[in-house]
């Protein structure tokens, strides 16, 4: 069965914007949990965080100093610091 689609092709998407230096607020305390986090959620959360840490470590566009600052920030927030 032939396809006779005469519609216009989609418009090209725009390139991604420049990285932002805007601060990221930790809003976890504004939305406290009503129940303890299930073990499976903790494992998924840890896996997600580990992925972000690896993404920072392997980013070819970041300097070693930038990577260190980013990793220090993640660890500070994970330890409950603001």
Q: Which of 77, 74, 45, 78 is nearest to 57 (CA)?
A: 74
Say if CB 70 and CB 62 are below 8 A apart. yes
The pLDDT score that the predictor gives to residue 40 is 84
Task: Spell out the residues 6+ positions from residue 26 whose beta carbon is closer than 8 angstroms to its own.
Answer: 77, 82
Whole-structure pTM value: 0.52
Say if CB 26 and CB 77 are below 8 A apart. yes
Question: What does the pLDDT look like over 29-71, one tens digit per residue?
Answer: 888 878 887 888 889 989 999 999 999 999 999 999 999 999 9
Query: In terms of pLDDT, which residue wins out, 12 or 50?
Result: 50
């Amino acid at each position: 069965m032939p396809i006779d689609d005469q519609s216009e092709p989609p418009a090209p998407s725009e390139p991604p914007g420049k990285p932002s230096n805007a601060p990221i607020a930790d809003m976890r305390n504004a939305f406290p949990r009503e129940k303890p986090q299930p073990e499976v959620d903790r494992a998924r959360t840890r896996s997600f965080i580990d992925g972000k840490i690896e993404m920072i470590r392997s980013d070819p566009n970041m300097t070693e100093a930038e990577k260190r600052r980013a990793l220090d920030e993640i660890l500070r927030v994970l330890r409950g610091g603001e």
